[in-house]
């Protein structure tokens, strides 16, 4: 399950991922995992979040697996559309869990600066995991985004936003998706 040659970078969403969020549990379990650091999790600024991602990736040495949640997914795809090729080359794979639709009519104002969502194909292997009842993005929207990014998607039944509030604390089931993604990324490497 753990791949010792890969560095893991956790990309939380709006308001960060608290100590009971599955991303925090995964960070504690994955050897050498690190977490993106931004100026503000509560008042996110796209320029800050994208610059922080570039800076953090420059500090990592080996192939990197990105583990993004919610707004972290949108930050990643928007960043990837204009990122330096040398940084993109180090990304082995990206797990995009419960991407937040920042273009939806009821989107919180704090997230709207991340619109529009880039629709270009992702330049690295990725997998989108969504839910049939995620308030941050409808099933149809998640499928549409995954199709435009040209990556596979898995839609889980009735699991909410896949965060601590929806009961996903350790989210052991998610390890299966990460492991499958990393196995698939090795095949295309």
- Convert the pLDDT of each residue in 150-175 to its tens digit: 999 999 999 988 877 777 878 888 99
pTM passes above 0.85: yes
Domains and CATH numbers, the chain: 7-188 (3.40.50.1820)
pLDDT higher than 60, residue 2: no
- Convert the pLDDT of each residue in 68-101 to its tens digit: 999 999 999 999 999 999 999 999 999 999 999 9
- Convert the pLDDT of each residue in 26-62 to its tens digit: 999 998 899 999 999 999 999 999 999 999 999 998 8
Question: Vertex 184, ends 126 and 123: CA angle to 5°?
Answer: 35
Give me the pLDDT at residue 186, please: 67
Give me the pLDDT at residue 30, please: 94
For residues 45 and 34, what is the distance between their CA atoms, to the nearest angstrom?
21
For residues 139 and 145, what is the distance between their CA atoms, to the nearest angstrom?
10
- Convert the pLDDT of each residue in 176-189 to its tens digit: 999 999 988 865 54
For residues 114 and 74, what is the distance between their CA atoms, to the nearest angstrom?
7
For residues 20 and 117, what is the distance between their CA atoms, to the nearest angstrom?
28
Q: Which of 24, 77, 69 is nearest to 161 (CA)?
A: 69
Q: Which of 101, 89, 93 is nearest to 131 (CA)?
A: 101
Instruction: Read off the tokens for 135.
Output: 């308030």
Give me the pLDDT at residue 187, please: 57
Q: Which residue has the tokens 């009842």?
A: 133
Give me the pLDDT at residue 28, please: 95
φ, ψ at 26 (rounded to 5°): -65, -40
Other beta carbons within 10 Å of 89: 11
């Amino acid at each position: 399950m753990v791949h010792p040659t890969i560095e893991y970078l956790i990309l939380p969403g709006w308001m960060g991922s608290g100590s009971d969020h599955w991303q925090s549990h995964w960070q504690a379990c994955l050897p050498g995992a690190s977490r993106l650091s931004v100026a503000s999790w509560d008042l996110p600024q796209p320029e800050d979040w994208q610059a922080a991602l570039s800076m953090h990736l420059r500090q990592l040495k080996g192939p990197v697996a990105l583990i993004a949640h919610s707004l972290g997914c949108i930050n990643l795809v928007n960043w990837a559309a204009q990122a330096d090729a040398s940084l993109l080359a180090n990304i082995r794979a990206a797990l995009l869990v419960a991407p937040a639709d920042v273009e939806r009519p009821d989107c919180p104002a704090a997230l709207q600066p991340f619109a529009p969502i880039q629709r270009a194909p992702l330049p690295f292997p990725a997998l989108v995991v969504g839910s049939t009842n995620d308030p941050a993005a409808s099933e149809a929207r998640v499928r549409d985004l995954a199709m435009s990014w040209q990556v596979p998607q898995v839609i889980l039944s009735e699991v909410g936003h896949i965060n601590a509030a929806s009961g996903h604390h350790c989210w052991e089931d998610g390890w299966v998706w990460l492991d499958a993604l990393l196995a698939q990324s090795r095949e295309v490497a």
